[in-house]
Amino acid sequence: MPGVEVKVEGLTKSFGRANIWSDVTLTLPPGEVSVLLGPSGTGKSVFLKSLIGLLKPERGSIVIHDTDLVRCSESKLYEIRKLFGVLFQDGALFGSMNLYDNIAFPLREHTKKSEAQIRDIVAEKMDMVGLKGDEGKLPGEISGGMRKRAGLARALVLDPEIILFDEPDSGLDPVRTAYLNQLIIDLNAQTDSTFLIVTHDINTAQTVPDNIGMLYRKHLAMFGPREVLLTSEDPVVAQFLNGRRQGPIGMSEEKDTAQAAREMAEIEELEGLPPVKPQLEATAGLPERKAVQRRQARVRDMMHTLPPAAQEAILRSQQQEVPQRATAVGASPYSAPAAEAPTQTIPRLDAPQTPEHPRNPENPENPEAPEPPLGSPITTRPPSGPTAGPGRHRFR
């Protein structure tokens, strides 16, 4: 069963006279990974705190399981919060507790489980994030990446339906960020929970989520499937997702219209849209992410509403990129080789959904074979070898 749907409508938050954002409306699809982007100071962390009821918006609604968190009682809000797991920027671990006690804390606080049950749960979650064997270490004795993973293990112990990540990549080098991104994808494959990630990392935004949203100038600029945002011609979205200097976003605030127009003219000569980066796949040996099929079905339904250039870029990405299960990324090189799995067929976004649709005749051992026609499915084989097993996510 996928994670729960989170429906946000007309949400407005201010601190005194300072308006943070207004009329934010979006729906986090159940079981999918969503990313919230935006320039610094646009209220992304405020949005996360509003979702779990730590801050009360002035207007709007946040509906989970038919309960409006903005208007419900304190006792009801306390119960709804148990559906959430939160990874804070710095891990937010108790410095005087070892990792085991930090991760066991929510179980001791919110459940009546025995210590034997708690020990089994903590061991399972620590193994999921690659911290098995580090139970006795204090937060001050480990690296920033390990603290992040310990905080993530603590967020997982109550088996939440919704997991919030507040800038999980902050303070991490690119290698550790890549490992963490793979870990997020793998956890989603295993739990099918609803994930919402606040980040500034462009590579994370391009390769991890099923859905992308962006806050800008106190409003939600756009929210939708990754294919739609990554091919968007909206100046703000395109500038941010491609890390360009040219565009409406300036160093501190938005630029004046004349300057933005001059800079946009510099990139008007570029032909077409930039290629859509492939999304990370779950490590071989783990379940396939059900969220991918749900998102691709939505994209197929809305393809006819997209601009021609966006449609072409999406279809081109489907032709040129063959999705593969992750191999070395995030997997331990010391894990046992995974058993050879059967060939799997992944339909293209534009492929007719009919049982008699022909299989892809592409022969990987014959590079001169013609490319499959548009609309045919892509037949892939899972990776094999010593790095293809599920493994543990060991990074420090």
pLDDT tens-digit series, residues 138-165: 999 988 888 989 999 999 999 999 999 9
Angle in degrees, 0-180, between the axes of helices 144-156 and 99-110, rounded to the nearest 10: 20
Task: Note the pLDDT of residue 196.
Answer: 97
pTM of the predicted protein model: 0.77
Reading the block at residue 109, the tokens are: 């606080």
Output the CA–CA distances (angstroms, integers) from residue 270 to 208, 236, 273, in the order listed: 26, 17, 8
Which is nearest to 217 in space by CA: 14, 22, 4, 15?
22
Q: 3-class SS at 294?
A: helix
Tokens 């001050």, residue located: 140
Task: Report residue 126: phi and psi, to 5°.
Answer: -65, -35
Average pLDDT over residues 321-328: 47
Q: Is the pLDDT of residue 316 over 90?
A: no
Average pLDDT over residues 210-215: 95
pLDDT in tens, 368-393: 555 544 444 444 444 444 334 444 44
Q: 3-class SS at 303?
A: helix
Q: 3-class SS at 354?
A: coil
* Domains contained in the chain, CATH given: 6-227 (3.40.50.300)
Q: Is the pLDDT of residue 248 over 90?
A: no
Reading the block at residue 138, the tokens are: 């204090």
Of the pLDDT bands very low, low, confident and very high (cuts 50, 70, 90), residue 201 is confident
Count Cα atoms within 13 angstroms, Cβ side, for 59. 9
Count Cα atoms within 13 angstroms, Cβ side, for 211. 23
- Strand duo 219-225 + 211-216: pairing: antiparallel
Reading the block at residue 70, the tokens are: 């903005």
Tokens 């204090």, residue located: 138
